[in-house]
Amino acid sequence: MEHYNMNLTLKVWRQSSKQDSGRFETYPVKNISSEMSFLEMFDVLNEELIRDGKDPIAFDHDCREGICGMCSMVIDGKPHGPWKANTVCQLHMRAYNDGDTIVIEPWRANAFPVLKDLVVDRSSFDRIIQAGGYISVNTGNAVDANALPIEKDKADASFAAAACIGCGACVAACKNSSAMLFLSAKVSHLALLPQGSPERKTRVMNMVAQMDKEGFGGCTNTGACEATCPKEISLSNIARLNQEYLLASLTSE
């Protein structure tokens, strides 16, 4: 693929704290290589801001390998940018052309308050997990993989659900800021396995209750969450979540 340099205009959301109302600021960036990642382009911009004695743009990042999901940005209206099944750190500047204007903002959800600039507080996801995302097992040595037979279709579905990295793109894409895709993935990957049976009913009840407490909205059934998910978590998990919740509601004491 041909390598080229480009000049771009970035419109970036700046917000000093939770209390600040925030605003967009415009930054020109020059001689950006098409082979840079999107975060590397931000590194270049921040180096320029620091040299000029200005406050660098705060943004989350860690692995830069599409694993952790921390690189949460809404780019031109789409969480994680224009590429499908992709995180921001995996997005490369060859997705853009010389002269383009790019608008970058944080996740927009009441349950994800902005801490600074493009960094949001996603601890609400942690609290949902803590409400029931566990299993009761004896934490001794690992047993043989085939000691507990599991149907392959269930094992595959559980593995696919467990691929969720909890980035929050599904929430940012949803017009109701729903966390149903995230929650359904966490409930599904345990509900499908025999190890998840002991807490099966209390898990879904407690996690749904915590999700509602955090202020996430209801599912819109539009599929925006699945379309923007970097791990392509299926909407079928939401159907499974609803089934698990109904069963738990009808049989709980």
* Residue 147: half-sphere exposure toward Cβ, Cα within 13 Å: 6
* Residue 142: per-residue pLDDT: 72
Q: CA-CA distance, 179 to 160, in Å (whole number)?
A: 18
Cα–Cα nearest to 28, from 6, 42, 10:
10
Q: For the stretch 179-212, what's the b/e string if a residue is b when 16 or more beta carbons lie within 10 angstroms of its beta carbon?
A: bbbbbbbbbbbbbbbeebeebbbebbbbbbebbe
The C-alpha atoms of residue 212 and residue 210 are separated, in whole angstroms, by: 5
Helix residue ranges per DSSP H, 93-136: 123-130
What is the C-alpha to C-alpha distance for residues 128 and 237, in angstroms, rounded to an integer?
A: 17
Task: Report the pLDDT value the prediction gives residue 253, as an integer from 0 to 100.
Answer: 59
Which residues have CB under 8 Å from 178's CB, separation 6+? 170, 171, 216, 217, 218, 219, 220, 225
Spans in the chain with pLDDT lower than 70: 1, 139, 145-146, 252-253
Assign residue 184 a region (left: φ > 0; alpha: ψ between -120 and 50; beta: otherwise): alpha
- The span from the CA of 179 to the CA of 157, in Å, is 20
Cα gap 111→20, rounded to integer Å = 17
What is d(CA 188, CA 202) in angstroms, rounded to the nearest whole number?
14
Tokens 């955090």 label which residue?
214
Domains of the chain: 5-115 (3.10.20.30), 123-251 (1.10.1060.10)
Separation CA 25–CA 103 (nearest Å): 10
- pLDDT at residue 237 in the model: 97
| Euclidean distance between CA atoms 219 and 179, whole angstroms | 8
The H or E element that residue 133 is part of is none
| Residues in contact with 142: Cβ distance below 8 Å, sequence separation at least 6, in sequence order | none
Q: Can you give the pLDDT at residue 159?
A: 96
Check residue 2 and give its pLDDT: 80
From start to end of the chain, where are the E strands? 5-14, 23-33, 74-75, 78-79, 101-105, 114-116, 119-120
